[in-house]
Amino acid sequence: MDNKFLLTLVILTYSATALAFTVATDVDNKGRVLNKNLSHEAHFDQGEHNEDYDHEAFLGDEAKEFDHLSPEESKNRLGKIVDKIDRDNDGFVTEAELKSWIQYTQKKYILEDVERQWSQHNAKDKIMWADYRKTVYGFLDDMDPNELEKDDEGYSYRDMQRRDRRRWSVADGDGDDALTKEEFVSFLHPEDVPHMHDIVILETMEDIDKDKDGKISQEEYIGDMYRGTSEEDEPDWVKSEREQFNVYRDQNKDGYLDQNEVKNWIIPPDFDHAIAEAKHLIYESDTDEDAKLTKEEILDKYDLFVGSQATDFGEALTRHDEF
């Protein structure tokens, strides 16, 4: 279960509003989510490997497109992708080539996400906080204060606005209360920007530290991922997480995670998510154990890379992005 969090950066889902026109992310994700660098999915779900993580890591925002393809069409599309990944055309996909491809898909997703939200604001050179706030949270001005207390997941819209305001200020490098497109990237995707990591840590602690004592107990740590009521009935993966907390997370053995220990947990030093995923895909697919993949090995494991179980195949997709 440890890999679940080694492959994780925890951030607060940025904003949700009742407006029909909104630049916020998924309105259902108002609270804290485990938002990975490589995928919105958890790599391990209650101790079980989740192939949706691999699909999004490998395909980026095109992962869902494969859900509408037959196995035959999925393999055909995958074969074309493999040809792109094999940059030296030697018939093998190496770890370095696979890492490069994964980094490309993730960078492409981030840039497209930023471009989409930037255009929704009709932004040119900068977005002013006042304009952003009016678009995303302007509905608060017309609502009854009693309606703003708490939403279903325990986060008030006012609190989300406060947190967005704080994150905006950190992303605003020149202090003019407006974000350039580059600064907007930092605001939307702080997990990818080193100078934003402190705000990621702070938001994580605020979400998990339920009693607001400035540290995370083992029960708060477990409660963030498991809602069971009896420790005796906990599944093995939860018991494993308790052990991880005691042995690895709580480095000073005081029974709590402080800010530095949370940082080491969610942003482990010298850990490369793309390399880890590349190693994982090769390990799962390399039948002759030569530390590289042929097209045949990848196609034999096509469900790991792109997986299509859909019966409504839809039309073949025609995107031909350059890599």
Instruction: Judge whether 281 and 78 are in contact, CB under 8 Å.
Output: no
Residue 258 lies in a domain: yes
Residue 227 lies in a domain: yes
Higher pLDDT, 177 or 308: 177
Residue 261 lies in a domain: yes
User: Does the structure show a pLDDT above 60 at 71?
Assistant: yes
* Percentage of the residues of the chain whose pLDDT score is greater than 70: 70
Average pLDDT, the chain: 77
Q: Across residues 66-74, what is the average pLDDT? A: 73
User: Range of 28's domain?
Assistant: 2-305
Which residues are registered as beta bridge partners of 216?
257
Residue 160 lies in a domain: yes
Q: How many domains does the chain have?
A: 1
Helix (H, G, I), strand (E, B) or coil at 289: coil
User: Does the structure show a pLDDT above 80 at 151?
Assistant: no
Residue 28 lies in a domain: yes
Residue 111 lies in a domain: yes
Q: Tell me the CA end-to-end span of the chain in Å, nearest whole number.
A: 34
Residue position matching structure tokens 């932004």:
123
Residue 182 lies in a domain: yes
Q: Tell me the C-alpha distance between 123 and 276, whole Å.
A: 37
**Tens digit of each residue's pLDDT (9 = 90 or more) over 78-99:** 899 899 999 999 999 999 999 9
User: Does the structure show a pLDDT above 90 at 21?
Assistant: no
What's the one-letter identity of residue 204? T
Phi-psi region of 266 (alpha: psi -120 to 50; beta: other; left: phi over 0): alpha
**Closest C-alpha among 171, 163, 220, 224 to residue 33:** 224
Which residues are registered as beta bridge partners of 32?
12
Lowest average pLDDT, out of 135-139, 142-146, 239-243, goes to: 142-146
Which residues are registered as beta bridge partners of 12?
32
Q: Which two tokens stand for residue 118?
A: 């930037």
pLDDT band at 320 (very low <50, low <70, confident <90, very high): very low
Residue 188 lies in a domain: yes
The answer for residues whose C-beta is within 8 angstroms of residue 91's C-beta and 6 or more apart is: 294, 295
